[in-house]
Structure 1
Amino acid sequence: MECLIPPTVLELARRARAVTVLTGAGMSAESGIPTFRDPATGLWSRFDPMSLASQDGWEADPELVWAWYAWRVGRVRSVEPNAGHHALARWAQRDDVRLHIATQNIDDLHERAGSEVLAHVHGSLLAFRCSVCQEPYQAPIEVPAEPVERLEPPVCDCGQYVRPGVVWFGEMLPQGAFDAALDACLEADLVLVVGTSGIVYPFASLPDIARGHGVPVVEINPEETNLSDHVDHIWRASAAAALPALVEALGN
């Protein structure tokens, strides 16, 4: 089915020479990665994801937390970037536009599609580091073929456990990541908000800040979100349908 582009959105995209795209879990969900708040299935249905994404949870049972993240690594590795990821990579290759991507997603699907990501505001699942000395951990990690309830984390050279490089509840965002996303929004001619629910702050504040500085903001999402009343234009379509249609309409 053809994805109809709102004429105002197409005109904004044609005029824009600096575009900032803010992506959320809905974009990765179209590749088969469940959103963080989706009901878990199988082994992990017995656990509250919130308790697995905190320093307290890690300190209480690092083997349980690591097993959950190892399972999530396996899920990410098993899927491919969707048409929306590839469309953004093609758009960024155009000579007449400067396109920045800031994402809440902790996967590497944007990069695997060929995009350079300005900011992983909530960290990266695949950027492992020591839980104590913070030294990056580069060695391959074991990913079980089937979910297991406990798995011992790798050990850093300092003797402490390695953890995923994601931002847990109560932790600071990666140094400079939010500031880079904010600067990109303020310097843009157009901000696209794609597949994010607008629940998690401070990322959810970026569209409002951009609008306050006169930057037009477009939401691309098949569902109404917390951001829908705080954008200039709404396009009710999925990322995998809307972004390829938009990039194709922009031409070569």
Structure 2
Amino acid sequence: MAVIALVSGKSSGVTCSALALTLASPKASLLVEADPAGGTIRTGYLGGEGTAAIGLHRLAAADRQGTLAREFDKHFVSLDREHSGQRLLLPGLTDPTQAASLSRTWEPISRLLNVMDQTGHDVIIDAGRILAESETRLSTTRYPTPLLHRADAVLMVVRTTQASIAAAAPAIRVLREELAHHGTGSDALGLLLIEEGSFNSSQVQQHLQTPVVGALAWDPDSADVLTHGAYKRMPRTLLNSARTAHGTINELVTRRRVQLQPTGVPMVTGRAS
């Protein structure tokens, strides 16, 4: 399937975009709320359902105890109203101060996410606003950088407004260097647009020198449901555009996997961990 990480240079609707892609996926999907600033889906879209006894913040302790692999899927919750297990969430941190405890756990988590990929799940990672330690490196202590290293695609979420495009530019430069030297290659980097402003995809692509991989409709009503609660009637505009974007993103993933596949080795659905 695919491992797709969403990031931003500044607040640009990453969580809402990640949730839309997860719900629109035609396949089984797992949304990982890896934003070091903390998770909001449990208290927002899920309306406070569930318990803080499960979630990403518990995995650092499991890793130290050597039980991470065994306990990993026990921290998933359903995003489906019918609880079918087709759409899953790994809830995020309940407090940003918990992020530091995960610095050594991101790498084993990334390997487990590749296993989810191999078992037929789309994995969507909400990595929030990037945190850099230099002009060429992401933080290795305060940010889920290993998740980006192993991702098939790393998409910068950008609103088609001047302010959002400007905020994305320095983040794009850091990501390009990071993925070229420590990830699967700089060609994993792309743009996911939110069509809020007056700039078109060609203009954004030219300004940021990065390909536009997909676009989401500007749909405040749907965004409000995804942000604040699942029990309102959701307009379909955003999810319809997310379904289309999902298709183009997976085309990128398939193309990159073919290019990265060693010569003479048959391509399989998942990636090696």
TM range (shorter): 0.3 to 0.5
User: TM-score, normalised on structure 1?
Assistant: 0.35
Mark the structure with the bigger radius of gyration: 1
Q: Could you say which structure has the higher helix fraction? A: 2
TM-score using structure 2 length:
0.33
